[in-house]
Amino acid sequence: MNLSCCVFHYEFEFIHPFQDGNGRIGRLWQTVILKEWKEVFAWLPVETLVKENQKEYYSVLGVSDSAANSTKFIEFMLTLILNTIEEIIKAEEKVTKKVTIKVTINQQKIIDAIKTNPYVTQEELAEIIGITKKSITANMKKLQENGLIKRIGANKNGYWQVNK
């Protein structure tokens, strides 16, 4: 991680060049430095992170000022950033987690037969797989509901498509 953003933030707070707004400007510059390092950090809500942890933020600033050493402040800010990144990753994993669809042996045989011949009929599938046409119809309905196969065109002149 680019430590310079935290060092600049602390040093700006330490020299306190303005009567008001030093914290906001320090946090803004921290975001700018992070963004320049890695574009994805443009979306990191440094201002919000500090606001949500304001008491600890000021406490760590005080400790660092008293010690004339920015280490505690840098560790605090890096921990906030790391925790936020981990929360974002966990949330993203929940959103993108794919649902596992169980496919029976007969359903896999239907998929394989369709891959071989997209124009295969249900009667032909029943014969190939060795189950009744009624079972073929029920299995194909489940495959369609799960988005694994799709009928393209009319029943008579159409064909089956296997989705990935």
Of 157, 121, 161, 113, residue with least CA distance to 137: 121
Q: pLDDT for 146-162, tens place per residue?
A: 899 999 999 888 999 99
Q: pLDDT for 42-59, tens place per residue?
A: 888 888 898 999 999 999
Name which of 18-22, 73-77, 96-100 the model is least confident about. 96-100
pLDDT exceeds cutoff 80 at 1: no
Chain-centroid distance of CA 126 in Å reads 42
Global model pTM greater than 0.75 = no
Percent of the chain with pLDDT over 90: 52
Query: Do you know the residue count of the chain?
Result: 164
Average confidence (pLDDT) over 97-120: 89
pLDDT exceeds cutoff 70 at 98: no
Using CA atoms, how far apart are residues 73 and 23, in angstroms rounded to an integer?
13
Q: Hey, what domains does the chain have and what are their CATH numbers? A: 4-96 (1.10.3290.10), 105-162 (1.10.10.10)
pLDDT exceeds cutoff 80 at 94: no
At 11 the pLDDT is 85
pLDDT exceeds cutoff 70 at 21: yes
Residues 6+ apart with CB under 8 A from 49: 80, 81, 84
For the chain, give the mean pLDDT. 89
